[in-house]
Amino acid sequence: MSTDHASWHIKGDSILTELIAMMDLSAEETATLGALQGAARVHAPALLDAFYQRLLSHSNTAEYLQQASMDRLHTAVANWFTDLFSGNYNEQYAKKRLIIGDVHVRIGLPVRYPLAMIDVIMPFGEQVAKTSATPDAAIKAFHKVLSLDIAIFNQAYEDNQLKHLAELVGGERLARLLLSGQG
């Protein structure tokens, strides 16, 4: 028996709008995070050291960095981290993050690696949040925006897989049924 789901009918930018709404960030939470952007900039160099140490110490991820411009990557990842504390999490923000996910799709990087890197990013974000006047609220809000990013990163991969499978089998619904083992 095949089942359709309402979520299957949400497409394109509406997916990002849905995810932002699902995180349920209050105005207070976005302001709390926005006040931490300077602190995020201060913590970014230490994050970068840990980030590339983790990627370079594992041969399957180090391989992707051989051809990359490390200066450009350092700046890009530092900005990515600092923007977690931009205090503005609208569709434009989400779209920018989706494009970053898509860059990783296009270099043929399995999604498990970016997902595993949350282990490195999480403690640095929490350190930044702890510098807030309201640390507990800031940590909770930081977890929300990081979860949003994980969802968006993964969405870039799913969009790509669905698109190609839908082209192959002649439709997105059939592709979704196949991916859920119902085809």
Q: Does 154 bind ligand HEM (CB under 6 A)?
A: no
Count of residues near ligand HEM by CB under 6 A: 17
In whole angstroms, the minimum distance from the beta carbon of 32 to ligand HEM comes to 22
- Cα 124 from Cα 138, distance rounded (Å): 13
Among 41, 74, 104, 173, binds ligand HEM (CB under 6 A): 104
- Cα 132 from Cα 165, distance rounded (Å): 46
In whole angstroms, the minimum distance from the beta carbon of 8 to ligand HEM comes to 26
Are 33 and 87 in contact by the 8 Å Cβ rule? The answer is yes
The set of residues, in sequence order, having a beta carbon less than 8 Å from that of 103 and lying 6+ positions away, is: none
In whole angstroms, the minimum distance from the beta carbon of 67 to ligand HEM comes to 7
* DSSP codes joined into one string, 117-142: THHHHHHHHHHHHHTSSSHHHHHHHH
Among 31, 42, 46, 68, binds ligand HEM (CB under 6 A): 68
Our CB check for ligand HEM shows the closer of 94 and 100 to be: 100
Q: Does 111 bind ligand HEM (CB under 6 A)?
A: no
Are 46 and 81 in contact by the 8 Å Cβ rule? The answer is no
Residues 2-61 that bind ligand HEM (CB under 6 A): 55, 61
- Cα 157 from Cα 154, distance rounded (Å): 5
Our CB check for ligand HEM shows the closer of 117 and 165 to be: 117
- Cα 20 from Cα 144, distance rounded (Å): 10
Q: Does 100 bind ligand HEM (CB under 6 A)?
A: yes
- Cα 135 from Cα 154, distance rounded (Å): 28
Among 17, 35, 74, 80, binds ligand HEM (CB under 6 A): 80
Task: Enumerate binding residues for ligand HEM (CB under 6 A).
Answer: 55, 61, 64-65, 68, 73, 76-77, 80, 100, 103-104, 107, 109, 113-114, 117
